[in-house]
Amino acid sequence: MKNSRRTAAFAMARWLATKDFPADLLPRGPERAEVQDMLYTAIRRLRPLRKVLGELMSTWPKGELEALLYIGAAQILYMPSIPDHAAVNETVNAAKVCENPSIAKVVNAVLRNLLRRRAEFEAMIAKSALEVSESMPSALVKRWIARFGAEDARSLAKWHNEPAETFLAYLNGEFVKLPRGMKVEEAEGYLEGEFIVQDPATHYAIELLDPKKGERILDACAAPGGKTIQIAWRGADVTACEVNPKRRRRLEENLKRTKVAAKVIGEITGDKYDKVLVDAPCSNTGVLRRRPDARWNWSEEKMLELVKLQAEILDVCAKRVSPGGILVYSTCSNESEENALQVEAFLARHPEFEFVSATESIPFKTGYDGAFAAALRRI
């Protein structure tokens, strides 16, 4: 019988060593959901877990031991649905597979000590600074406090630490929450292509774009294809551009499943369009609950590199908008440099465009992913 803790610990060790996308480290098969819960929780709560393990260990653990202790401690402190005895015993059993027999003894001793001192550690975490208690980069928390205030910054951080919900978007514009534990492939209408997986916040950009039957529309950063499909469902003649071959294959797979006809291209050509959507690469600070690793990849330096890339993409796409046409810029970020300030800078460079409107989803206010969208008209 497979031990899901062993699988989760192996994935955790891989992630610690490589920082690969956690989703790419998950197994296929019936244990996937359980492994994902443990792996994502450990990554999401990495900062307080490190603080606790630092109190329990005289020497910092490495390799398999470090990964096993993260998985075990995450279950004890942050996964109340898992009984304590299962969290400890199954993690110890997972450790027994390791070549070094002492690892299992250490895991057993540390996790049982954690159980005995759990109340002490929970109080310690609760009293810690927001970036520690809610497991976020200090610089990002500082930005949120400056923008939203301390109370709302805490609300935002807490929201991003909850397991993500999955929404299904249908042809009629309805968004339906998938019951927790149900696989997308098990939902009625999956094989028939009746829905796509999309958070309701993605709809903001589509509403500003307002696709109409017969309009020629370019989706400039299209993969995995959710917005492309929503545009096509409204009857527009959509061209989907994705420069990354791997992501382009995923786009094509989703178009095939939903039976949507869209032209797929690998680079933007000289054609003109009635409307252009730029769903730009961004720092993902609006979707940290879906991307638990993204917080640890975030830095102001990386964000500013993305701001530069976003501006370059916008400049290219501006040339593809016909006179009187609409350019919609969107991100899944809540950082001003990537959103409102990016739009201001674009308008300063491009007097041939005028501002139409903008909208933003702040997760603790909307209950949806963080997102931003702005509509700009070519004069």
Q: Is residue 140 part of a domain?
A: no
Q: Judge if 113 and 225 occupy the same domain.
A: no
* Reported confidence tier of residue 2, pLDDT bands at 50, 70, 90: low
- Does 237 have pLDDT greater than 80? yes
The residue range of the domain holding 275 is 200-378
Specify which residues 375 forms β-bridges with.
328, 357
| Same domain, yes or no: 244 and 371 | yes
Residue 94, both tokens? 């997972």
pLDDT tens profile 48-76: 999 999 999 999 999 999 999 999 999 99
Cα-based distances in Å from 335 to 250, 320, 328, 339, 370: 28, 27, 17, 6, 10
Is 144 a domain residue? Answer: no
Q: How many domains does the chain have?
A: 2
On whether both 211 and 121 belong to a single domain, the answer is no
Give the residue-averaged pLDDT of 275-283: 98
On whether both 12 and 123 belong to a single domain, the answer is yes
Residue 199 vs residues 166, 254, 287, 305: alpha-carbon distances, Å: 7, 16, 10, 26
Tell me the average pLDDT across 119-143.
Answer: 98
**Global pTM?**
0.94
Residue type, 136: M
Dig out the tokens for 139 from the structure: 């610089």
Taking all residues of the chain, what is their mean pLDDT, rounded to a whole number? 96
Residue 26 placed within a domain: yes
pLDDT tens profile 75-126: 999 999 999 999 999 999 999 999 898 999 999 999 999 999 999 999 999 9
Q: Is 204 inside a domain boundary?
A: yes
Model confidence pLDDT, tens digit, residues 283-312: 999 999 999 999 999 999 999 999 999 999
* Cβ-contact 150, 278 below 8 angstroms: no
In this prediction, residues 140-163 reach a mean pLDDT of: 97
Task: Give the DSSP letter string of 334-369.
Answer: --GGGTHHHHHHHHHH-TTEEEEEEEEE-HHHHSS-
Per-residue pLDDT band at 30 (split at 50, 70, 90): confident
CATH number, domain containing residue 297: 3.40.50.150
* Within-domain flag for 36: yes
124 and 216 in a single domain? The answer is: no
On whether both 204 and 120 belong to a single domain, the answer is: no
In eight-state DSSP terms, residue 274 is E
163 inside domain: no
Boundary-marking domain end, from 78, 95, 128: 128
Residue at 51 is within a domain: yes
352 & 253 share domain: yes
pLDDT at 1 exceeding the cut of 50? no
Of 71, 94, 128, the residue at which a domain comes to its end is 128
Q: Same domain, yes or no, for 112 and 249?
A: no
DSSP character for 184? G
**Residues of 247-268 as b/e, b for ≥16 C-beta within 10 angstroms?**
ebeebbebbebbebebebbeeb
122 & 216 share domain? no
The CATH number given to whatever domain includes residue 68 is 1.10.940.10
Q: Could you tell me the two tokens for 353?
A: 């465009």
Gap between the Cα atoms of 259 and 277, Å rounded: 21
* pLDDT given for residue 29 in this prediction: 85
- Quick one: 256 and 119 in the same domain? no
**Is position 136 within any domain?**
no
Provide the pLDDT for residue 105: 97
Residues 121 and 262 in one domain: no
Distance, CA of 163 to CA of 78 (rounded, Å): 11
How sure is the predictor about 181, in pLDDT bands with cuts at 50, 70 and 90? confident
- Residue that terminates a domain, selected from 102, 128, 154: 128
* Whole-number Å distance between alpha carbons of 264 and 353: 27
Residues 123 and 230 in one domain: no
